[in-house]
Structure 1
Amino acid sequence: MVNNNLTSQLTETLSVDNGTDETPIKWCSVSLSEVLEKGNRLEASVYDVESKQAYARIKDGIYPPVYLLGINSPVKKAHYGGRLKRNYVEKNSKNAIGFIGSSEMLDINPQPLKFMVDDERVSNLHVKRGTVLMSRSGTIGNMSFVNETLEKFLISEHAMRLECDDYPGYVYAFLKSKTGQALIQANIYGSVIQQIEPEHLTGIPIPNAPNEIKSEIDNLVSRSYSLRDESNVLIEKATQLMIKELCLPAIENFDLKLFKRNVPVDTFNVKLSGLTYRLDASYHVPIVDAITQHLKENCRELTTVADTRISKRIVLPGRFKRIYVEENVGRVFIGGKQLWELDPCNKKYLSLSKHGDRIKEQLELHENMTLITCSGTIGKVSLVGKHWENWAANQHIIRIVPADNSVAGYLNTFLASEYGYHLITRHTYGAVIDEIDDLHVSKIPIPILKNQDIQRLINVLTLQANEKRYEAYKLEQMALKIMDNEVIYAKRPELV
């Protein structure tokens, strides 16, 4: 009778070992002196195993360390812009200047969506060329370097400015290395919105390498960011050539056939024959018809992305459950948020054994593909560089495989322009999350220019810009490799 007792049965069931492994727990001992040295901080993250190893690696390295900020330190001033009420203005307003955040500063060629009046009130949001930038709120530790492109914008207070007298590229490379990142992460505070302050840099050690090594790394980083500037100039030149050849006015100067003017909302008519089974007003916005009609009048032929002279294939991957693995055993995997970065931060790695076929058939990227974000944020356009060859991207990005390299650059330039953006986003659907699909992309109008020499030149300039970005990537990777091999992990001569 006892064996049939419910309590007895439950006890026996609960005591069964199902062979489930417990989640590994990281642990380490912490001395009182360490707690005092860390400013009496008791958060476990401050004493993380990886950060302790990174700290010991620098302390015991071949080159005696100095602290990042303080006496005899490489960073002479660490600060960020003050908080202020942001009064945004229109892009074409007098003295308007682009305002970007700590995520946009990572883009090769940032495209600001917000603008402020450039006056004394925002003076501390400017940045000087050669300044090292580090995101200090939300996502901590993303690094950028102020070049000619970034110098033109205001940058939010969420980006910390590190100003150095000498070798700022060396500081940039150290903080971007895995060791530098581990040391940054150990200084984060905040339970809801994580942050880091300039005073926390006083506890981060950096190897005091010989000036020859510092100079070499600094030059590589500076050249890398100069090449990004040069690529942006080429892209702008290609875009302006296209605009001039098509006689395109500024977006705000198009003559929109509005039903009523001087009213709070745009009001317009749509013929029944023009509905094409779409009843959402955003599909029928007048700017799209105005751009399309203008293109017809000023190009040799208006075709679509699906034209075999333009593309071979348009790929929208299916949704799938992702299996991530460690860096050295998987394929690099990026998302739409990272499309405009040269070397995307926060990369993940997909399992080749679990996703090998899907990667090869749908996810893989190849040089000169055009990528378009198709979910959430619609219409971000990027051209795949040589350094992204065989990487994988998620299902929120549509791939356009160009017909050949004679049209790849031109196709990308048109779609990446503000005119292409309106033609892409008019297809947006969805009540909660915006979406477009491969069928919509296939219908996007593409103008064939009357002057084929100009079209070829636009194509060449865009591909040259893409090549410069590849060279910029290689230079930065070389700087990071020297930082690792000759500074952080360098062995003493007697131990070799």
Structure 2
Amino acid sequence: MKIAEFSNPVMSSWFAEQGYRLDASPYVAGALKTKKLLEQLPKTEPLAAVTTGPNGGLFYGPMFRRVYLTAPEHSVPWLGSRDMMAADLTNLPRLRKSDAESPSLKAQQLNPGMTLISRSGFYAGRRSYVRPDMGKCWASEHILKVQPNSEKIKSGYLYAFLLSRFGESLVRGSVYGSAVKHIEPHHIAGLPVPRLGADLEGRIHDLVEECAQLRADHQADLVAATKDFFDSNGLPDLNKVRWHQQERDLGFEVASVGPTSLRALTFAPRARKLAEKLGSVPGARLGDICAGGQLSRGTRFSRVDSNPEHGVQLIGQRQAFWLRPEGRWIGTAGTPDEVFASDEMILVAAQGTLGENEVYCRPILAIGSWLKYAYSEHFLRISSGTPEVPGAYLFAFFRSEAAFRLLRSLSAGGKQQDIHEFLRAEIPIPLAPPADRNRIAETVRNAYKKRDRADVLEDKALALLTTAIEEAAG
């Protein structure tokens, strides 16, 4: 529960400023406190005064009947309020291209440099920056777009302000609603944007732009590593699985089955063809590769909430795929070592449902700065016990569409699926020549170094902005 601070009591005069809202959110969430702080700065401008485009540069798209396709030549990537925070945009749902390019939706195509704000539902109020590789994406009506006027403000600086703790409190304080929260453009049009001088704003902008480029490079490198994996193993056709263009798994026969599984999904022809192709080249079973490492779900443990100074951030399946996680902080005392990941451990979301856009069976790689986090028991831990088969090499495979479909075919359970304990050890892993394995692994490692560097630059930009505002207001 949030309560008003005695040092900053809620004043009756604030009610008129907030349109006589009687819910507590804008008064105790820090929005008005931030506004009073920014009023002490030499110069601020309303957000609407530094934007341009449809509806003055603060806009979102119309509601419409969506038609999703899978063929890339007839569709465009479609970004939702959850997807806008994802680190890897490879597996976005795809909207019919003819609809996306229609007059009513053409303006929903993203422009690099935009700031995106999720405007409804559970994720309302979160912000992200449109990277250079997102220019071919379209955004849903649940995303509010902030298009900066390049003649008045630098796009990276505006994003840094909206992302900062000042922007956080202002945007969150603008959220309306109870069961379904939402934000409208006029709710944030008057947010005060501090002006800190061309030099400082330019430095912050350059940091954000370099950060965005590094994240785009991270994405491109991972895609290249996966392509290299299949090309080096003589399986170039698996770079384009085209799962939904294949004949559906209806009316097939199985010669014999054992006690391990009686589920039809396990024996589906499309998945079996994938397994046969992967096993047709030199390789090894996943269970054998992980014999000296780990191939199991995480351990269950009691969670005790803690503050960041004395705890560790626990990452669950939902936030593991975000650029920057916002997981719960738990105390380290009594937390087992098994919740931490070893270097280059692959963590596969191992519990969920079979929806096409669910994270179930999607992987992340624990490497670099992500080794500091704790991970919930809902991840399948895959750690190579064979030095000649690096975890980064395995990750190039597990992030592929072929691996995703094969893992899904090994599902067990009812409503909540899991990956079958015995069948996952039988997954055939192609092993390219050692030189190729090392090259692919290095591509993945370098991609994650770029991602870590991007986080450092973003933090530096926020630190510069925060220090400048505090000093100017002091």
If the length of structure 1 is used for normalisation, what is the TM-score? 0.84
SS state at 2:160 partner: helix
Which residue, 172, 175, 199 being the options, matches 1:212?
A: 199
Greater C-alpha radius of gyration: 1
Task: Pick closer, same or farther for the CA change 1:74–1:365 going to 2, 3 Å.
Answer: farther
Question: Which letter maps to 1:152?
Answer: K
The alpha carbon displacement at 1:215 in A equals: 0.9
Whole-angstrom distance in 2 between the partners of 1:437 and 1:392: 24
* Residues 326-359 of structure 1, C-alpha deviations (whole Å, 9 max, x = no match): 2332101111112222212x32211123x33x1x
Equivalent in the alignment of 2:175: 188
Superposed, which structure 2 residues align to 1:108-147 within 5 Å?
A: 108-110=87-89, 111-117=91-97, 118-120=100-102, 121-138=104-121, 139-147=123-131
Query: 1:198 matched to which residue of 2?
Result: 185
- 1:168 is aligned to 2:168: no
* Structure 1 segments unaligned to the other structure (5+ residues): 1-22
Q: CA deviation at 1:147?
A: 1.5
> Which residue is equivalent to 1:98?
77
SS at the partner of 1:69? helix
Distance 1:470 1:94 in 2: 33
Tell me the distance in 1 between the aligned counterparts of 2:179 and 2:29. Answer: 23
Query: CA offset at residue 132 of structure 1?
Result: 0.8
Return the alpha-carbon distance in structure 2 between the equivalents of residues 378 and 421 of structure 1.
Answer: 9
Q: Secondary structure at the match of 1:429?
A: strand
Deviation at 1:102?
1.3
Taking only the aligned residue pairs, the percentage that are identical comes to 23
Q: Does 2:294 correspond to 1:313?
A: yes
Deviation at 1:228, TM superposition (A): 1.1
The aligned counterpart of 1:342 is 323
Is there any run of 5+ residues in structure 2 with no aligned partner, and where? 353-358
How do 1:24-423 residues align onto structure 2 when only pairs under 5 Å count? 25-26=3-4, 29-61=9-41, 63-70=42-49, 77-89=57-69, 91-92=70-71, 94-110=73-89, 111-117=91-97, 118-120=100-102, 121-138=104-121, 139-164=123-148, 165=150, 166-245=153-232, 246-249=234-237, 250-252=240-242, 266-272=250-256, 274-297=257-280, 299-301=281-283, 303-308=284-289, 312-344=293-325, 346-353=326-333, 355-356=334-335, 358=336, 361-376=337-352, 377-403=359-385, 404=387, 407-423=390-406
Shift of 1:392: 0.8
CA distance in 2, matches of 1:149, 1:219: 17
CA pair 309-452 structure 1, distance change in 2 beyond 3 A: farther
Compared CA separation, residues 77 and 255, structure 1 to 2 (3 A):
closer
Q: CA deviation at 1:26?
A: 4.2
Q: Alpha-carbon deviation of 1:130?
A: 0.9
Distance across 1 between alignment mates of 2:118 and 2:245: 42
Paired position in structure 2 for 1:12: none
**What is the TM-score of this pair, normalised by structure 2?**
0.88
Equivalence for 2:429: 446
Deviations 1:103-155 (A, max 9, x none): 11111221213432243153122111111111111112221111222212111
Deviation by residue 1:293-341 (Cα, 9 ceiling, x = unmatched): 11222x222x122224786223422333422222332101111112222
Q: Which amino acid aligns with 2:322?
A: E
Q: For residues 188 and 49 of structure 1, what CA distance do their matches in structure 2 show?
A: 11
SS at match of 1:97: strand
405 and 151 in structure 1: CA distance in 2 versus 1, 3 angstrom threshold = farther
1:163-221: CA deviation from partner (whole Å, max 9, x where unpaired): 11231111211222222211111111112210011111133223211111111111111
Asked whether the equivalents of residues 68 and 74 of structure 1 are also in contact (C-alpha less than 8 Å), the reply is no
2:455 corresponds to 1:455: no
SS in 2 for 1:271: coil
Further displaced range: 425-434 or 410-419: 425-434
The answer for the alignment partner of 1:19 in structure 2 is none
